[in-house]
């Protein structure tokens, strides 16, 4: 079917981190289920997570030359105006050739040029905002949007276009599900009957979590706890030497469901996608909000769960000192683990991807 005849053409812009990529993939999967004839194109950058992950889901993928603007003084910022100009031209060309009916942006910097170009050329626009405090890209693009889907009620106060806001939740991937705990542990090379801690700091990793685990892993092992340690792509080479029969160190999980299924307790950053996935699966978690985010939004994300006894929070500057005591106390308290699991499940919005996909299809049909 030619692009002129097929009205179901969707372009997705997002990446840089899993938190900006996986919600887009979740919506794209639902569109593909609802409209198998749909043509779907992802646009991202060449050296980030999207370049590796998107092809695994069998979606077409193109790149533009763009990077974020560093908050601190940085020589790379001198290239930003040039990169932005080139990215805008590339984005116009991509949109002219692909002719999307609906464009979906997830708030990453790569979404800016692509969504702007799609809007200029007449596409309907959907923005996805995963965090309680919206990012700069989505706030700049909100006037061009037809719909803005948010995950937290707190986000409303930061947008001007209130009539476009929809509290839908953070879209989740179709393949995310729990499997047998013992089988998952054995698949990871761990003992099937031993208490298991999973620590992950996002696709790139988190220095403070890695250092906290480095400082505490021996004590945790002596407490008869085995560890699944996602060090992140940025830090894997630095921590890979800690890999053993009781500690599994990896850069990134291609099969996140397996890692989550193996765990009795999770220690993680409080990114919106992590919160959505852990809520959906009903897993007990200790959140360590990143301090390297705007408006401390990860703490705000996690605090909304903590006040409902749906999660535990450790501040980034105390995680190394308190990790051992917190983990050993929680992981052996079955009642507390059950309570955390039941309460976090209440925050789940499992139909978010389906709702957004349905709206994207309706917008495509309206042009």
Is the same domain home to 128 and 192? no
pLDDT of residue 301: 85
In a domain, 3, yes or no: no
Percent of all residues in the chain with a pLDDT value above 70, rounded to a whole number: 95
Is the same domain home to 201 and 146? no
pLDDT of residue 111: 94
d(CA 11, CA 8): 10
Is the same domain home to 188 and 269? yes
Nearest alpha carbon to residue 352 among 304, 280, 254: 280
Nearest alpha carbon to residue 16 among 132, 157, 137, 99: 137
- Give the total residue count for the chain: 367
Nearest alpha carbon to residue 243 among 201, 188, 203, 205: 188
Is the same domain home to 158 and 193? no
pLDDT (mean) for 159-174: 93
Q: pLDDT tens digits for 30-45?
A: 999 999 999 999 999 9
* In the predicted structure, residue 147 carries a pLDDT above the cut 80: yes
pLDDT of residue 203: 67
Top pLDDT among 203 and 52 is at 52
pLDDT band at residue 71 under the 50/70/90 scheme: low
- Torsion angle of the four alpha carbons 187, 213, 326, 261, in this order, in degrees rounded to the nearest 10: -20
In a domain, 291, yes or no: yes
In a domain, 240, yes or no: yes
pLDDT of residue 65: 87
Is the same domain home to 220 and 336? yes
In a domain, 104, yes or no: yes
pLDDT (mean) for 333-337: 97
Q: pLDDT tens digits for 90-127?
A: 999 999 999 999 999 998 889 999 999 999 999 999 99
pLDDT of residue 249: 95
The torsion region of residue 191 among left (phi > 0), alpha (psi -120 to 50) and beta comes to beta
Q: pLDDT tens digits for 220-260?
A: 999 999 999 999 888 999 999 999 999 999 998 888 899 99
d(CA 233, CA 231): 7
pLDDT (mean) for 161-187: 93
Cβ atoms within 10 Å, residue 159: 19
In a domain, 279, yes or no: yes
Is the same domain home to 150 and 242? no
pLDDT band at residue 68 under the 50/70/90 scheme: low
d(CA 190, CA 321): 26
pLDDT of residue 224: 97
Is the same domain home to 82 and 166? yes
pLDDT of residue 4: 59
In a domain, 39, yes or no: yes
* In the predicted structure, residue 70 carries a pLDDT above the cut 60: no
Is the same domain home to 146 and 239? no
pLDDT (mean) for 160-179: 91
d(CA 182, CA 277): 21
Q: pLDDT tens digits for 7-34?
A: 999 999 988 888 889 999 999 999 999 9
Domain count, the chain: 2
Whether 288 and 316 have beta carbons less than 8 Å apart is answered as yes
Mean pLDDT of the chain: 92
Is the same domain home to 80 and 120? yes
Is the same domain home to 93 and 147? yes
In a domain, 32, yes or no: yes
* In the predicted structure, residue 1 carries a pLDDT above the cut 60: no
- 360 Cβ partners below 8 Å, 6+ apart? 10, 27, 31, 102, 104, 124, 126
Domain with 221, as residue range(s), is 181-346
- Paired with 251 in beta bridges are none
Nearest alpha carbon to residue 63 among 75, 78, 50, 76: 50
Is the same domain home to 51 and 197? no
pLDDT of residue 15: 86
Is the same domain home to 21 and 126? yes
pLDDT of residue 72: 61
What is the number of helices (H) and of strands (E) in the chain?
14, 13
CATH number for the domain harbouring residue 248 = 3.40.50.2000
In a domain, 176, yes or no: no
pLDDT band at residue 74 under the 50/70/90 scheme: low
- Which SS3 state, helix, strand or coil, does residue 162 take? helix
Q: pLDDT tens digits for 259-302?
A: 999 999 999 999 888 899 999 999 999 999 998 877 788 898 89
């Amino acid at each position: 079917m030619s692009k002129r005849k097929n009205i179901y053409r969707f372009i997705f812009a997002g990446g840089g981190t899993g938190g900006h990529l996986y919600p887009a993939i979740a919506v794209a999967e639902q569109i593909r289920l609802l409209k198998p004839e749909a043509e779907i194109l992802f646009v991202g950058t060449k050296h980030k997570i999207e370049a590796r992950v998107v092809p695994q889901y069998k979606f077409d993928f193109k790149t533009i030359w763009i990077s974020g603007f560093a908050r601190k003084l940085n020589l790379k910022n001198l290239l930003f105006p040039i990169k932005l100009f080139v990215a805008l031209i590339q984005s116009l060309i991509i949109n002219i050739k692909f002719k999307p009916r609906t464009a979906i942006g997830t708030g990453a910097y790569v979404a800016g040029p692509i969504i702007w170009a799609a809007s200029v050329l007449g596409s309907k626009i959907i923005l996805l905002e995963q965090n309680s405090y919206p990012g700069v890209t989505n706030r700049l693009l909100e006037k061009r949007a037809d719909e803005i889907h948010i995950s937290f009620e707190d986000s409303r106060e930061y947008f001007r276009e209130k009539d476009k806001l929809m509290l839908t939740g953070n879209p989740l991937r179709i393949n995310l599900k729990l499997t047998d705990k013992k089988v998952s542990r054995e698949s990871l090379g761990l003992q099937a009957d031993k208490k298991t801690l999973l620590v992950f700091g996002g696709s790139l990793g988190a220095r403070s979590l890695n250092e906290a685990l480095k400082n505490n892993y021996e004590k945790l092992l002596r407490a008869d706890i085995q560890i699944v340690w996602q060090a992140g792509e940025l830090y894997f080479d630095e921590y890979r030497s800690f890999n053993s029969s009781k500690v599994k160190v990896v850069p990134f999980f291609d099969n996140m469901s397996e890692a989550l299924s193996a765990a009795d307790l999770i220690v993680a950053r409080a990114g919106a996608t992590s919160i959505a996935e852990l809520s959906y699966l009903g897993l007990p978690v200790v959140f360590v909000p990143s301090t390297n985010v705007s408006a401390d939004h990860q703490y705000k994300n996690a605090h909304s769960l903590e006040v409902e006894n749906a999660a535990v929070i450790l501040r980034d500057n105390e995680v190394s000192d308190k990790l051992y005591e917190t983990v050993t106390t929680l992981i052996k308290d079955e009642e507390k683990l059950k309570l955390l699991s039941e309460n976090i499940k209440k925050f789940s919005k499992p139909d978010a991807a389906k709702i957004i996909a349905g709206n994207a299809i309706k917008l495509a049909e309206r042009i």
